[in-house]
Structure 1
Amino acid sequence: MEEYQHITHGFEPVFDERSRVLVLGSFPSVLSRENRFYYGNPRNRFWRVVAEALGEAEPAPGDVEAKRGLLLRRGIALWDVVESCDVRGSADASIKNVVPADVARITGAAPISAVLCNGGTAARLYHRWLEPVTGMAAEALPSTSPANAAWSLGRLTERWSEALLAALE
């Protein structure tokens, strides 16, 4: 079994002054940390789900600038609940000794009106660490992780589309 390591997030949130919806993951995976951007595991369905949920003409964006552009163009901020923690590999279930992200960096600069969490771990961590700061309840969405095999791409896209479009109204 992998050893615990104390790891700092390592890259910045995506947002600007027009961001209205904040999407939060828990903490970057090993591949995301190596790629220095969100959802860097090619098997993670996040980028494909978000692009399809928003009705984008193009398939999932491929490079970091295209991914950042998609989010900002649509008023979506993206970050993780945890700034640093002890973790084994990419296992959300192993996260301990949490230092929460300074979510006020985003909520103080952008008119965030909805918070969506990518998976149950992100939602639990948000509720514990960040909801008292933002004063906003979060909607937990099914994880786009490849570990969430119970949700097909179609079901994920339908559920995420429903939540994103309602939040962006």
Structure 2
Amino acid sequence: MEYHNINPVYDKDSKILILGSFPSVKSRETKFFYGHPQNRFWKVISALTGTSLPQTVEDKRKMLINNNIAVWDVIASCDIEGSSDSSIKNVVVNNLSEILKETNIKTIFLNGGTAYNLFKKYNKDIDIDIIKLPSTSPANARYSLNMLIDDWKIVRDKL
């Protein structure tokens, strides 16, 4: 069993929530979201917000907060082989009620199909706009960075 070891990033001004499935091995090592150097999340968010690519965890946290973006994951713990979403079993989900209560979040974006499917399965009581986006993971190789940025532009529209 692997456990989520990263606190959610948000503040009272957060307008959107981006949820992944579960942190990769690299993210669990660095103790921050999207820590794999090939994951395009930070490049996409930088392009959408017109900010320079953050290098440190603190820079990444500031970029999210300064742009009213909250980030967390659907899963609190699970059995997983490495970073493979397809191997996820025995899911325990994160409780999203606190983050939703303390913020002004009107839209939840799901980073990839696994996050979307798990969210829909375990969060039937959450009545907020839900939008599935293509995964920024390097495993989603058929999507170029430009394709991701184009599909993720809806994030900017909600900020």
Is the TM value for this pair above 0.5?
A: yes
CA distance in 1, matches of 2:125, 2:29: 30
- 1:35-55 superposed Cα distances (whole Å, 9 cap, x missing partner): 000001001010011101122
Q: CA RMSD in A?
A: 0.9
CA distance in 2, matches of 1:120, 1:55: 26
How many pairs are equivalent?
159
CA contact (8 A) 1:16 1:110 kept: yes
Amino acid of the structure 2 residue aligned with 1:106:
I
Q: Please list, as runs of the form range in 1=range in 2, the aligned pairs for 1:1-169 lying within 5 A after superposition.
A: 6-56=1-51, 58=52, 60-130=53-123, 132-160=124-152, 162-168=153-159
SS at match of 1:134: coil
CA contact (8 A) 2:14 2:104 kept: yes
CA distance in 1, matches of 2:55, 2:61: 10
Following TM superposition, the consecutive aligned residue runs of length 4 or more in structure 1 with deviations greater than 6 angstroms are none
CA contact (8 A) 1:15 1:106 kept: yes
CA distance in 2, matches of 1:39, 1:133: 27
CA contact (8 A) 2:113 2:132 kept: yes
SS at match of 1:97: strand
- 1:58-90 superposed Cα distances (whole Å, 9 cap, x missing partner): 2x2010110000010111000000000111110
Q: CA deviation at 1:121?
A: 0.5
How much identity, in percent, do the aligned residues show?
A: 45
CA contact (8 A) 1:127 1:137 kept: no
Amino acid of the structure 1 residue aligned with 2:13:
R
CA distance in 1, matches of 2:94, 2:129: 16
- 1:103-152 superposed Cα distances (whole Å, 9 cap, x missing partner): 1121010011000011010100111112x232224111010011111110
